[in-house]
Amino acid sequence: MSAGRYTARVVKSIFALLGGFCVYVMGTLGYLGIALLMAIESACIPLPSELIMPYAGALAHPDVNAALSAQFHLALPVFNIFLAAVAGAIGCNLGSEIAYWVGAKGGRPAIERYGRYVLMSKHELAIADRWFAKRGEIIVLVARLLPVIRTFIAFPAGVARMNRTKFHVYTFVGSLPWCLLFAYIGQELGIRLIGPDSDNPLKHWMHRLDAVIAAVIVIVAVLFIRSRLRVLKEYRAEDAAARAAGTAD
């Protein structure tokens, strides 16, 4: 098997595992499950909202829900798409509170210690710091609509001891449209791919585009994995340098 095919298979397995985990949690806990999954993501643990909310949206359509229930052998709840987005936004607040608390209580050193366990680079933290310093508290709202930075912005807000009420209002208001957008995308994709309209021409075009979509997913996944491995390597190099300095002393 070629390296490319092996990587594609591994990535597909990871996506299937994460997707199955998300569906199981939502199927077991309902709206609370959506909130829990989004809290995990907002606490900077690598579980992308771009995967969570589309599944929540797909479960909001009865026919798609039935197809997924059969696929996962689980009686899944039928969500209201808006309430699913609200649950996701509440989860963002819960997870962000953890990140805020780490920043407020331990400052930058605590963030860096925490960051190594979830493979969050110092460069990513520096970007969040710089954006918060330049744009002020309003960036907490704006950042919730942006990939990557939306997850890390709670840290500098905590370090700055931003007003907690304002922090959570901005977090909720910024997170709600993000969650609603991806829930809607998931619902529409579900309808067109496995729902009652699954025989429309779009499905046939999607089959033709399968290879392209798979290639894009593989590229994005490989870049993500390489970036996290690079972060891990950086932390290990720092640890080795610190040990060497300690031995020299």
112 falls within a domain: yes
Residues 218 and 221: their CA atoms lie apart, in Å, by: 5
Residues 47 and 15: their CA atoms lie apart, in Å, by: 10
249 falls within a domain: no
Q: Write down the mean pLDDT value for the chain.
A: 78
Q: Is the pLDDT of residue 237 over 90?
A: no
**Least confident piece of the model among 6-10, 24-28, 84-88:** 6-10
* CB-based contact 166:172 (threshold 8 Å): no
Domain that holds residue 139: 3-243
Instruction: Tell me which of 34 and 99 has the higher pLDDT.
Output: 34
Distances in whole angstroms, Cα of residue 182 to Cα of each of 58, 78, 226: 10, 17, 26
10 falls within a domain: yes
- The number of distinct structural domains making up the chain is 1
- In this prediction the pTM is 0.75
25 falls within a domain: yes
- What would the pLDDT profile of 89-103 be if each residue is shown by its tens digit? 999 999 999 989 988
pLDDT score, position 194: 64
Model confidence at 160, pLDDT cuts 50, 70, 90, reads: confident
- What would the pLDDT profile of 180-224 be if each residue is shown by its tens digit? 988 988 888 777 666 555 555 544 544 444 444 445 445 555 566
Return the number of other C-beta atoms located less than 10 Å from residue 2's C-beta. Answer: 7
Residue 199 per-residue DSSP state: T
248 falls within a domain: no
Residues 170 and 75: their CA atoms lie apart, in Å, by: 35
